Amino acid sequence: MNKLRWGLLSTARISSAVIPPIRLSHRSELLGVASRDQTKADAHARGNDIPRAYGTYEAMLADPEINVIYNPLPNHMHAGWTIKAAEAGKHVLCEKPLALSVAEVDRVMAAARANNVVVAEAFMYKHHPQTLKALDLLKNKPIGDLLTIKGVFTFDLTPRPDDIRWVPEYGGGSIWDVGCYPISFTRLIAQAEPIEVLGWQTTSASGVDEVFVGQLRFASGLLAQFESGFHTPYRSWMEVVGTRGSMFIGAPFKPADRAFFTLNYGDRSEQIEVGAGPLYQGEIEDMENAVLDGKPQRIPLEDSRHNVALILACLESARTGQIVRLG
């Protein structure tokens, strides 16, 4: 195999985000799109110049010429369809969260191993040059030893009362949708898993968290806090504080065309600019490297397992009002 032939598992709006980077790569080709409605599949294929349209998901998984699937289905369908794709011999790039339970992650991992396929969770920002540059700089401790990490990702979903993200059984709630980003970024910076978590939430009428605030404590003494929400204006940032300064990333999860972050030392600041290509290019290249070259994935499934476990611990803490100890 010298090229990945991609199929989009649904016509969801987010699926359009991966079309440009797939087409920019000489090692990938967009071959098909599937829907549970043939008319919708045909329309999406015509609108995006995709050669093949399938009226069922199963039909696309049965196509032997497609070897990698992009899964942007609703949260509660991620694990099940990722497993089905793996069992059909397809590699899978699955939108976050990979699953809604640790047991589901374990089943995904087992299916990937049994069928010798690559499965990756689509945290796009982890592949972005801005993130990679920030992590590389932090290795040299320009801001000293790390003390605290804070992260925020919120937006206003209230004008869309029928959105599936309000539905508990669909994996709704702000922590699953956007809180997973500062949680995963914090773990990435810390290069460790927390030993204690404490969470608070404000719930919607449907019972999902519309505001979530969590605190994490690491064995090293590092402390972290994150906030996610569906009931406030758009806010997105990460701040890392050390003994000699701090790093502020103003667009950590979806960097702008002009990507940069700031190092602050008291009254002195240094802006670090980063050259960047298409937002989702890195995760497409990572899949190519893993499948075609046999290189290690940047986001192994073990990392996804830790993130899902931590989200569940935060939710447990919010429900019980108790600190949850991990490990």
Cross-strand pairs, 284: none
| Residues 234/250, Cβ–Cβ less than 8 Å | no
Active-site residue list = 96
Half-sphere exposure of 231 (CA within 13 A, CB side): 15
Residue 193 CA to residue 135 CA, distance in Å, equals: 17
Three-state SS annotation for 81-143? HHHHHHHCCCEEEEECCCCCCHHHHHHHHHHHHHCCCCEEEECHHHHCHHHHHHHHHHHCCCC
Residue 50 CA to residue 29 CA, distance in Å, equals: 10
DSSP three-state, residue 250: coil
Q: Could you tell me the CA-to-CA distances from 93 to 100, 111, 112, 146, 192 in Å, in that order?
A: 16, 14, 12, 32, 24
Do the bridges between strand 259-265 and strand 268-274 make them parallel or antiparallel, or are there none, so unpaired?
Answer: antiparallel
**Tokens, residue 280:** 């989702």
Q: Rounded to an integer, what is the distance from CA 15 to the centroid of its chain?
A: 14
Q: For residue 66, what are the CA distances in angstroms to 131, 195, 324?
A: 31, 42, 43
Amino acid at the residue 92: V
Please check whether residue 208 is in contact with residue 170, taking contact to mean a CB–CB distance below 8 angstroms. no
CA distance 180 to 289: 25
Please state, as a whole number, how many other Cβ atoms lie within 10 Å of the Cβ of residue 24: 14
